[in-house]
């Protein structure tokens, strides 16, 4: 079992594929807005002329809303969040979703997290700005905060912020860790590793 060596004094989570399910088809979404499949969709839309950008944002926002109203908490999410709450470990979410979609998912899935940074609140991952803003708000050094996600953008953002990263692999097929500090199949496996460490030390 992997050891965390008492590193975590705060935990930040990605949302889709990490805490909640998502049925977003990014290939279809990219085709709908004319984004090449090998490009980041948010970066592509941002550089479009204003009218086309607004239309593309509307398409993305509509798809996210439909995804949000069918989202379900992933197995182990509520138990892990309750455990961290009992340990008095601050938690937050940093997501590339819109704030509206993120709040819908959190409410629908009854996630006990109030602090959310969406793409409406700062630069989207892999930019580390939102992660660093949370470290500042919590008055914790980045190296004592774990960022948990399921995508290489999550690992990149954590590395740029100087935070240890935890990669969950159950929702995706990865042949490598993408440089993650820790890797687990799912939230239950991550939770099983936590009782062996003293989070409040």
> Is the pLDDT at 197 greater than 60, yes or no?
no
Beta-bridged to residue 92, according to DSSP, are 12
Which comes out higher in pLDDT, residue 195 or 199? 195
Cα gap 157→125, rounded to integer Å: 6
pLDDT at residue number 112? 96
pLDDT at residue number 1? 40
The sign of the torsion formed by the CA atoms of 31, 35, 39, 44 equals negative
Span(s) in the chain for CATH 1.10.260: 26-68
8-state DSSP, 122: S
Which comes out higher in pLDDT, residue 96 or 175? 96
Cis, peptide link before residue 126, omega less than 30° from 0? yes
**Banded model confidence at residue 8, pLDDT cuts 50, 70, 90:** confident
CB 109 within 8 A of CB 71: yes
pLDDT at residue number 99? 94
Cα gap 100→16, rounded to integer Å: 14
pLDDT at residue number 7? 55
pLDDT tens-digit series, residues 52-85: 989 998 999 999 999 999 999 999 999 999 999 9
Architecture of domain 10-21+73-196: 3-Layer(aba) Sandwich (3.40)
> Is the pLDDT at 33 greater than 80, yes or no?
yes
Span(s) in the chain for CATH 3.40.50.1000: 10-21+73-196
Alpha helices in the chain (DSSP H): 26-33, 41-46, 50-68, 77-86, 99-109, 129-138, 152-161, 187-193
Cα gap 78→106, rounded to integer Å: 11
Q: Is CATH 1.10.3470 correct for 26-68?
A: no
Cα gap 43→145, rounded to integer Å: 27
The sign of the torsion formed by the CA atoms of 21, 33, 156, 125 equals negative
Which comes out higher in pLDDT, residue 4 or 72? 72
pLDDT at residue number 120? 93
pLDDT at residue number 194? 82
Give 166-175 contacts, CB < 8 A, sequence gap 24+.
166/190, 168/17, 168/18, 171/17, 171/18, 171/74, 172/17
pLDDT at residue number 201? 40
Q: Which of 59, 42, 49 is nearest to 127 (CA)?
A: 42
**Banded model confidence at residue 189, pLDDT cuts 50, 70, 90:** very high
pLDDT tens-digit series, residues 135-185: 999 999 999 999 999 998 999 999 999 999 999 987 665 545 668 999 899
């Amino acid at each position: 079992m992997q050891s965390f060596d008492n590193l975590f004094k705060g935990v930040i989570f990605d949302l889709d594929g990490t805490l909640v399910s998502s049925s977003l088809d990014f290939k279809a979404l990219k085709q709908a807005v004319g984004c090449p499949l090998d490009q980041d969709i948010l970066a592509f839309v941002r550089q479009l002329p204003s009218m086309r950008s607004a239309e593309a944002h509307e398409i993305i926002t509509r798809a996210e809303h439909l995804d949000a109203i069918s989202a379900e908490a992933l197995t182990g999410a509520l138990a892990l969040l309750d455990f961290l709450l009992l340990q008095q470990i601050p938690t937050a979410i940093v997501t590339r979703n819109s704030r509206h979609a993120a709040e819908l998912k959190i409410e629908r899935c009854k996630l006990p997290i109030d602090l959310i940074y969406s793409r409406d609140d700062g630069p989207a991952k892999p930019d580390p700005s939102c992660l660093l803003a949370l470290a500042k708000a919590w008055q914790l050094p980045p190296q004592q905060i774990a960022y948990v996600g399921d995508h290489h953008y999550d690992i990149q953002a954590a590395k740029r912020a100087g935070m240890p990263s935890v990669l969950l692999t159950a929702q995706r097929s990865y042949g490598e860790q993408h440089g993650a500090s820790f890797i687990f199949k799912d939230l239950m496996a991550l939770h099983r590793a936590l009782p062996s460490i003293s989070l409040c030390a």
